[in-house]
Amino acid sequence: MSLLPVMVIFGLSFPPVFFELLVSMALFFLLRRLLQPTGIYDFVWHPALFNTALYCCTYYLISCLFV
């Protein structure tokens, strides 16, 4: 978790983790789009589990960078 204050946008308050989730989701979609043409999903046993692990890794990376 980061120590940033709560962000207020148009009267709605968002915790800092919300923006970390948005950035990590964008990075995840970019990585998934780059990995699909390479054929790596042919070697993965369960693509949904791979995608979940990839998203968790990107979220961890982003959350470490935001702190």
Residue 2 clears pLDDT 60, i.e. is over it: no
The ranges assigned to domains in the chain are 17-66
- Give the list of residues 6+ apart from residue 14 with CB closer than 8 angstroms, or none: 6, 7, 8
Contacts of 19 (CB under 8 A, 6+ apart): 7, 66
Instruction: Give the pLDDT confidence of 12-57 residue by residue, as tens digits.
Output: 888 888 889 999 999 999 999 999 999 999 999 999 999 999 999 9
